[in-house]
Structure 1
Amino acid sequence: MAGLMALGAPSILRAETGPVRHNASSFRTRDWRDHFDSLGNGVIVADLTSRALHYWSGDGTDYRLYPTTVPMSEELTRRGYTEVVRKRVGPDWTPTPDMRRRDPDLPAYMPPGPGNPLGTHAMYLSWPAYLIHGTHDTRKIGRPSSSGCVGLYNEHVAELFAVVRVGTKVRLL
């Protein structure tokens, strides 16, 4: 037994003395005042660099932070101010012509369900074809994997969906 413990100890020490990589910087709280003049109906900041979505309620008492997917490339990324214009449980999906050009195997339409890339809930932004939505493929969270949207785990998007109101201001940076 002592030999097994001694064999395990050097690897533990090496792991602690080598370069340490943390992803904690992505999950620092932010201040909404750096991005908006007021909370209004609530605000969302989607930080594409750190792959984190921040939400504040209109009265400022509810702050939430979620890991996200981000666009696959800078050309698919849109930054700036927008807002939530509608919400849908069980969204259907129609890939854009540009998505179908990049991947001709995509279907022309996909009904709600387990294969739908929009997951269980979607919040549509004032920019056409840009959404905050769930994903059934949990491997995508924390990775550049979307065609421009911000994706969350289905359980997180359902939680966010329940508190976000239409008219919520959104900033993608």
Structure 2
Amino acid sequence: MTSDPRKGLSRRNFLISTAATGGMLAAPAVLAQTTAMEDSTEIETTVRESTRRNLSSFRTLHWRDFFSNLNNGAILCDIDSRCVHFWSADESIYRLYPSSVPLSEDLTRRGTTQVIQKVDGPSWRPTPAMRQRNPEWPEFVPPGPDNPLGTHALYLSWTYYRVHGTHDTRKIGRRSSNGCIGLYNEHIAELFGYARVGTQVLLI
């Protein structure tokens, strides 16, 4: 690794440094929404075994069991089943995607939130606390193949929480994140097109 942590940090070294610390980061405090929407605590650990998931094994659900209406559409993140459901406002579209979920219950937040920002090509910044624990990590990761947020991200009203893509497809279907919900890049791109600012989101 170079002397300047902002330069020459390969994805492999970045993941190795994460694994070396056990892949665990302290759960972020849930603070009031900030304007630094690119900040995130999301760093996923390396998953060394490829996991194949069969969508037909997931339960299809009805939105009325979880939402009172479909205003602006609805996203349900089922952490136990490790999948994401989407219903469009007019009920013409229903999608079911496999996902990565938080590593442990203490990193998991459940409840109702909403999409407050959509970013095509998100950037990523570690929080100050993360930089203190891991000074070798970069201060900023631009959009691209080294970015932990993949190709697209839906920012939620909870600070630091996202539904986003991942370039490491081995993570999908696993407990591999530090709070966020991860999808295959092709799936987050599709969901990104369906969701809008104001789409309601429920994590169960």
Q: Is the 8 A contact 2:162 2:181 kept in 1?
A: yes
Residue equivalent to 1:64:
95
Give the Cα separation in 1 of the matches to 2:64 and 2:194.
Answer: 20
Measured after TM superposition, the shift of residue 147 of structure 1 is 1.1
More strand by share: 1
* 1:87-166 alignment runs, 5 A limit: 87-100=118-131, 103-166=134-197
Q: How many residues align?
A: 152
String of CA shifts for 1:37-75, please: whole Å, max 9, x gaps: 000010010000000000000001100000000011111
Q: Is the 8 A contact 1:96 1:129 kept in 2?
A: no
Cα distance change, pair 146–37 in 1 and its aligned pair in 2 (3 A): same
**Structure 1 residue corresponding to 2:105, chosen from 58, 63, 74:** 74
Residue equivalent to 1:28:
59
More helix by share: 1
Calculate percent identity across the aligned residue pairs: 63
Gaps of at least 5 residues in structure 1 are 1-21
TM-score after normalising by structure 1: 0.82
Give the Cα separation in 1 of the matches to 2:94 and 2:55.
Answer: 17
Q: Is the 8 A contact 2:85 2:95 kept in 1?
A: yes
Give the Cα separation in 1 of the matches to 2:58 and 2:155.
Answer: 24
Q: Is the 8 A contact 1:118 1:134 kept in 2?
A: yes
Cα distance change, pair 115–44 in 1 and its aligned pair in 2 (3 A): same
Give the partner amino acid of 2:86. Answer: Y
TM-score after normalising by structure 2: 0.70
Give the Cα separation in 2 of the matches to 1:36 and 1:157.
Answer: 22
Cα distance change, pair 112–59 in 1 and its aligned pair in 2 (3 A): same
Gaps of at least 5 residues in structure 2 are 1-52
Give the Cα separation in 2 of the matches to 1:71 and 1:102.
Answer: 20
Give the partner amino acid of 1:160. Answer: L
Measured after TM superposition, the shift of residue 105 of structure 1 is 4.0
Give the Cα separation in 1 of the matches to 2:163 and 2:169.
Answer: 15
Give the Cα separation in 1 of the matches to 2:96 and 2:66.
Answer: 16
**Aligned: 1:169 with 2:200:** yes
Measured after TM superposition, the shift of residue 24 of structure 1 is 6.4
Measured after TM superposition, the shift of residue 107 of structure 1 is 2.0
Cα RMSD between the aligned structures? 1.8
Using CA pairs under 8 Å that are at least 6 residues apart, name the structure with larger relative contact order, 1 or 2.
2
Q: Secondary structure at the match of 1:107?
A: coil
Give the partner amino acid of 1:30. Answer: L
Give the greater-gyration-radius structure (CA).
Answer: 1
String of CA shifts for 1:93-151, please: whole Å, max 9, x gaps: 01234544665543221111100010000000000010000000000000111110000
